[in-house]
Amino acid sequence: MSATSAGGSAATGGTPVAAGRTPPARPAPPLPETSGRPSARTAGRGLLRAMARRIGSGIVVIWAAATTAYLALLAAPGDTVDILIGDGPDTPEIRAGIIREWGLDRPEIVQYLSYLGRLLQGDLGRSYQLQRGVGDILAEQIGPSARLAVAAAATAIVLAVLIALVTAGRGPWARRAVSGVELLAVSVPTFVIGIVLLSVFSFSLGWFPVSGDEGWKSLVLPALTLALPAAGVLGQVLREGLEKALEQPFATTARARGLTERALVARHALRHAMLPGATLVGWFVAQLLTQAIITEAVYGRPGIGRVVLQAVTGGDMPVVMAVVILSAVVFVTVSTVLDLLYRVIDPRLRSS
Amino acid sequence: MAQVTLRPTRPYAYRLALPGAVFAVIAVAVVAPGLLTGTDPLAADPLHALEGPSAAHWFGTDHLGRDVFSRVVHGARHSLSIGVAATGLAAAVGVLLGLAAGLAPKWLDEVLARSFDVLATFPELLLALLVIAITGPGTANVIFAIGIAQIPNLARVVRAQTFVVRRAGYVEQAVTFGLPGPALVVRHVLPNVLGPVLVLATIVLAQSIIAASALSFLGMGPQPPAPEWGAMLSEARNYMRVAWWQALFPAAAVAVTVVSLTAAGRVLRYRFEGRDT
């Protein structure tokens, strides 16, 4: 949705801010314990501490997701039992089951705690529309969605690096072209991109299937639909990083040593350019998660997106709540892993 | 990257010209769609269904023989009003919460600021879907859902700006001269907080229009036969093999509107805050 939110910070869980004036505050780096190059030992301790902090804030985000979902349930007008049932079958036995499962006859705080307790045991509740455990439904549908997300992420990164490599250092026209592409990327809704691709490549040229999920062919257009906007934003950030890196003194030194421009970019500059790109990780993951729902709808693909839409339309709250929590878990996991990778890319971060 | 420009006025005016022209056309479509088209957007004519663009039907006709041009023009009101209303709701609540956090005692600010931060990490579309799961689909519910989903971002900006304004010399002076708290907030803090909010609101509006048309595309928004752009696209998807025009024109309408809004928002942001991206 908010593709303008290019101001996130990977270090705080990658909070995307639409044009936020202040990027989310990064935890202040502790003062280096030793001056100069950090020893291996302090670096290791620094990494451990950073990991602990990262995992701690990740747990807070997941807890907040669970609580938000629960508050949404409480805030809804009407009887909680009715809301949980949604459009599902409504019999006295099912009602009694819900009251037992959610403990609706107990005080609210106890209900909340037991809800958290069940989540901790991996129990995501029961879908009252499908009469099955939510965990099973999601496990069944996550395959196609995960394939789509991974394919889209890979495509987006490759495209973004290509944009950056082709346009960096090519003067103002290249800058204008890339920022134009970026403007389109944040402004054109995903379903519009999907419809256009579908119309050209499936309906007119007949290269790809119109809907469904059969083999790699049906993955190409959905992955491209998800990847194009992300690549536009990421490409611009990488390009700027690359240009800045190529102006640094180390680039001059490397050139003086006789390194070709291509080797300079491949071995040194790209690494530097990846750093600002890494701050977009949170935005990128959020983008993939939500736009996948729309992309799956455009291409009629099975997956979590279809489950969510059915649940939202039918008011099947346990499923919706579980998806909110699941997305928080994915978000936290990916941004934590990438944040640690960030330290691999840039050794300077290892000391703090 | 921000560049130092010696004569800043001309390039801005130039960059605002195209979006401005688009807004003018859209404004006419919203206020007086009759000026642009005399055809009823709901009038079905099955004998002329799925006909390509022609002199009589500039954008062709859809599967029920309705005039696509007329539907796109009349759709502006549906699509934009949801975006504007959601942005208004988000701005009103966001300003209140942001001001409250910025002026509150430290512990309360901590609680509010952390909640904004955490809520802002959730993708807005997912928050909106969570709300719609409870309220059910429909135009009013979509406005409510998108508005709620946009609050955290706005509240954060207002809070940060309140901190800046609070420390400003003129506020300190007003305090020194004994201006009571509420008057201080209304007369000095609020007006100076609103500038960045208006700039951000342009971008939030663009995002809300995307969200509104996306939710309508998914069937959560205005119900047929209302000519909402996203809903039109959703219908058009089934006839794309034979009638590309039915999908292309509403898609272009959403894209042009949002591109213009985002472009204008960026020009404004550059002008007021000296930031480019």
d(CA B77, CA B24): 14
Tokens 């007086």, located at residue: B32
d(CA A251, CA A265): 9
Question: Å from A14 to nearest chain B CA?
Answer: 7
pLDDT at A155 over 90: yes
- Using CB atoms, pick whichever of A83, A282, A316 lies closest to residue B121: A282
Read off the DSSP letter of residue A127: E
Judged by CB atoms closer than 8 Å, whether chains meet at B156 and A20 is answered as yes
Question: Å from A78 to nearest chain B CA?
Answer: 10
- Using CB atoms, pick whichever of B119, B132, B214 lies closest to residue A191: B214
- Using CB atoms, pick whichever of B121, B262, B266 lies closest to residue A13: B121
Judged by CB atoms closer than 8 Å, whether chains meet at A64 and B241 is answered as no
B259 neighbourhood in chain A, CB within 8 Å: 183-184, 187-188
Q: Give me the half-sphere count of Cα atoms (radius 13 Å) on the Cβ side of residue B73.
A: 24
Judged by CB atoms closer than 8 Å, whether chains meet at A195 and B134 is answered as no
More confident residue, A136 or B62: A136
pLDDT at A127 over 50: yes
pLDDT at A170 over 70: yes
H or E segment and range at residue A39: none
Question: Å from B197 to nearest chain A CA?
Answer: 10
Judged by CB atoms closer than 8 Å, whether chains meet at A196 and B251 is answered as yes
3-state SS, one letter per residue, for B97-139:
HHHHHHHCCHHHHHHHHHHHHHHHHCCHHHHHHHHHHHHCCCH
Rg (CA), chain A: 24
pLDDT value at residue A350: 65
Judged by CB atoms closer than 8 Å, whether chains meet at A240 and B1 is answered as yes
A18 neighbourhood in chain B, CB within 8 Å: 150, 153, 200, 203-204, 207
**Mean of the pLDDT values across residues A323-342?**
85
d(CA A87, CA A341): 45
The pTM is what? 0.81
pLDDT value at residue B115: 86
pLDDT value at residue A3: 37
pLDDT at B5 over 60: no
Identify residue B11 by its one-letter amino acid code. P
For A196, name the nearest residue in chain B, comparing CA atoms only: B248
Tokens 């499908």, located at residue: A130
Q: Is the peptide bond before B191 cis (omega within 30 degrees of 0)?
A: no
Read off the DSSP letter of residue A33: S
- Using CB atoms, pick whichever of A13, A191, A328 lies closest to residue B217: A191
Question: Å from A267 to nearest chain B CA?
Answer: 25
Q: Which residues lie across from A126 on neighbouring strands?
A: A133
How many CB atoms sit inside 10 A of residue A196's CB? 18
d(CA B3, CA B270): 10
Judged by CB atoms closer than 8 Å, whether chains meet at A287 and B277 is answered as no
pLDDT at B184 over 70: yes
- Using CB atoms, pick whichever of A183, A293, A316 lies closest to residue B263: A183
Residues in CB range of B142: below 8 A, 6 or more apart: B82, B86, B128, B132, B212, B215, B216, B220, B221, B222
Percent of chain A predicted with pLDDT > 90 = 13
Q: What is the mean pLDDT of chain B?
A: 84
Range picked from A102-116, A168-182, B136-150 for highest mean pLDDT: B136-150
Instruction: Give the ipTM of the model, two decimals please.
Output: 0.81
Dihedrals phi, psi of B214, to nearest 5 degrees: -65, -45
pLDDT at A5 over 50: no
Best CA proximity match to A343, nearest among A46, A24, A12, A9: A46
Judged by CB atoms closer than 8 Å, whether chains meet at B123 and A190 is answered as no
Judged by CB atoms closer than 8 Å, whether chains meet at A324 and B273 is answered as no
pLDDT at A32 over 60: no
- Using CB atoms, pick whichever of A3, A60, A189 lies closest to residue B213: A189
d(CA B241, CA A204): 7
More confident residue, B215 or A266: B215
Burial (Cβ within 10 Å: 0-12, 13-18, ≥19) of residue B181: exposed
pLDDT value at residue A351: 58
d(CA A118, CA A132): 16
Read off the DSSP letter of residue A206: -
B115 neighbourhood in chain A, CB within 8 Å: 64
Percent of chain A predicted with pLDDT > 70 = 86
For B265, name the nearest residue in chain A, comparing CA atoms only: A19
